Amino acid sequence: MINPDSGAMDAPTSYETRPPWDDGSIAEPPTLPRRTDVVVVGGGVMGAAAAYELALRGVSVVLLEMGRIGGEQSGRNWGWIRQAARDEDELPLMQASVRRWAELSTELSDDFEWTQKGNLAIARDPARIAFFEAWLKVAKAAGLESRIVDERETKRLLPELAGSWLGALHTPSDAHAEPWLATRAIGAGAAARGAIVAEGTVVDGILVDRGRVTGVTTERGVIHASTVVCAAGVWTAPLLYGVGVDLPIRIVRSTAARTKPVAPLSEMGVGYHPVVSFRQRPNGALYVAAGGWSDYDVTLDSFRHLRAFLPNYIKNRRLLKVHVGRPLLEDVGRRARRRDLAWRLRQGRVLSPALSAEKVRMSVAKFREIFPSVPIEVDRAWAGYTDATPDAVPVIDAVASPGGLVIAAGFSGHGFGMGAIVGKLLAEQIVDGRPSHDLHPFRLGRFADGTFRRPRLVA
């Protein structure tokens, strides 16, 4: 399904091409129990937060991560914790997530650079302002204080911004954090509260007996559990096929770049433009990325659920660069050699997809155009795979069959910000059977019964 090195690097680069923390080290796993209440598969922000919240509630939980906690999307993303321009079903969860992140910033021992000073989406195109106006109705209904500000206010908030602008969407309660630090802090918090957290442990399959999950098989033996949370990011769909659950997912490649530190750009630290989004860390380093632009490598799985994905492909056709080549050939080769999921998981223990140098160039050029007085120099860039659903909102669901299986996946490139609340909701679902937010819009069944919306009102 996945080629760890898919996509071509399209130009020689003068910067390091992997995430700063990616030194190849994986912690020696602890001794694993043979039985626990809950197994969580996947140590991204979703799995780590679920394990943390379950441990807080006194549940015995084992978190299994085949690579490193935060080693995939959750440690490679830009770090936005954004309510602005969210889908109307996601917005209440995001509002609650921002509150939960704020609590976590004091509850957890490790600092993760939590910053809540707002977010500005700048616009010089009337269509974009019209989109903001339409979305403000969604914000108002949810009680979120977002507003459109004029050019003067935009430039007051972003003093180095050059050129003429129609205005911006300002969301004062939006936030950001350093994703690798945040996911690791939550994982460490889970361990400190009694969860068993094992890196370097591949889950090969989910065990089911008479319609209920009974545990998982791992490369280090079986663990029995009556509940399994599958939060395995891009590997969730193939793991679920093994137990007859069909999750429609497309794997998209996104690139991020980091610059050497520069003087503070604004108090907020984050800003969004369709061609360049940026976030500044407290140490002055900027993350720049090509807004909504990303890459898509065609594989044999691209032909699954094609009809469901078509409306979003069509809507985003300008933003998604489709690559047909090596990844497809390698996928055909793997199928011909009958490589099973266990083999593929071990090969892809930490996926390091090739970044798009084109996206780095694009975002840096746009940044320099709109902030000509800010001298940026990229010192690192990297890519990560995201798992997208046909309607670009996640699946968060305790499915009926098999019983005991809970899915949290398909966060469609904007899940980091939701991590804090998703962990809490999963724990509430498992412990009380009643999450504090309505998860109906996120049920898996919407794809089978055709009730999902396509495409949605999202930026």
Ligand X SMILES: Cc1cc2nc3c(=O)[nH]c(=O)nc-3n(C[C@H](O)[C@H](O)[C@H](O)COP(=O)(O)OP(=O)(O)OC[C@H]3O[C@@H](n4cnc5c(N)ncnc54)[C@H](O)[C@@H]3O)c2cc1C
| Interface residue list for ligand X (CB under 6 A) | 41-47, 64-67, 71-74, 76-80, 202-203, 231-233, 235, 239, 254, 256, 345, 384, 386, 409, 411, 413-417
Nearer to ligand X, 61 or 231 (CB): 231
Spatial separation of the C-alpha atoms in residues 172 and 425, rounded to whole Å:
25
Write out the two tokens for 81: 């914790």
Nearer to ligand X, 409 or 425 (CB): 409
Q: Is the peptide bond before 402 cis (omega within 30 degrees of 0)?
A: yes
As a residue count, the chain comes to 459
Spatial separation of the C-alpha atoms in residues 438 and 454, rounded to whole Å:
20
Minimum distance from residue 330 beta carbon to ligand X (Å): 19
Minimum distance from residue 114 beta carbon to ligand X (Å): 14
Q: Is the separation of the CB atoms in 189 and 109 below 8 Å?
A: yes
The angle that helices 419-432 and 179-192 make with each other, rounded to 10 degrees, is 30
Nearer to ligand X, 158 or 234 (CB): 234
Minimum distance from residue 214 beta carbon to ligand X (Å): 17
Minimum distance from residue 225 beta carbon to ligand X (Å): 14
Minimum distance from residue 239 beta carbon to ligand X (Å): 6
Burial of 134 (0-12, 13-18, 19+ CB in 10 A): exposed
Q: Is the separation of the CB atoms in 437 and 89 below 8 Å?
A: no
Nearer to ligand X, 233 or 441 (CB): 233
Minimum distance from residue 107 beta carbon to ligand X (Å): 19
Minimum distance from residue 152 beta carbon to ligand X (Å): 28
Spatial separation of the C-alpha atoms in residues 381 and 17, rounded to whole Å:
5
First-to-final CA distance of the chain? 29
Nearer to ligand X, 387 or 428 (CB): 387
Minimum distance from residue 411 beta carbon to ligand X (Å): 3
The angle that helices 91-107 and 419-432 make with each other, rounded to 10 degrees, is 90
Spatial separation of the C-alpha atoms in residues 22 and 141, rounded to whole Å:
42
Minimum distance from residue 233 beta carbon to ligand X (Å): 2
Nearer to ligand X, 52 or 411 (CB): 411
Q: How many C-beta atoms lie closer than 10 Å to residue 394's C-beta? A: 26
Q: Is the separation of the CB atoms in 421 and 437 below 8 Å?
A: yes
Nearer to ligand X, 78 or 371 (CB): 78
| CA proximity to 76, closest of 161, 158, 184 | 184
Give the CB-side neighbour count of residue 169, counting CA atoms within 13 A. Answer: 28
Nearer to ligand X, 348 or 435 (CB): 348
Chain-centre distance of CA 259, in angstroms? 22
| CA proximity to 365, closest of 292, 254, 295, 288 | 288
Q: Is the separation of the CB atoms in 50 and 231 below 8 Å?
A: yes
Spatial separation of the C-alpha atoms in residues 134 and 30, rounded to whole Å:
51
Nearer to ligand X, 83 or 154 (CB): 83
Nearer to ligand X, 78 or 367 (CB): 78
Nearer to ligand X, 117 or 166 (CB): 117
Minimum distance from residue 129 beta carbon to ligand X (Å): 23
| CA proximity to 139, closest of 174, 184, 185 | 174
Spatial separation of the C-alpha atoms in residues 62 and 41, rounded to whole Å:
9
Nearer to ligand X, 123 or 426 (CB): 426
Write out the two tokens for 273: 């433009």
Minimum distance from residue 151 beta carbon to ligand X (Å): 26
Minimum distance from residue 187 beta carbon to ligand X (Å): 10
Write out the two tokens for 132: 């903001």
Write out the two tokens for 26: 């994986």
Q: Report the residue number whose CB is nearest to ligand X.
A: 44
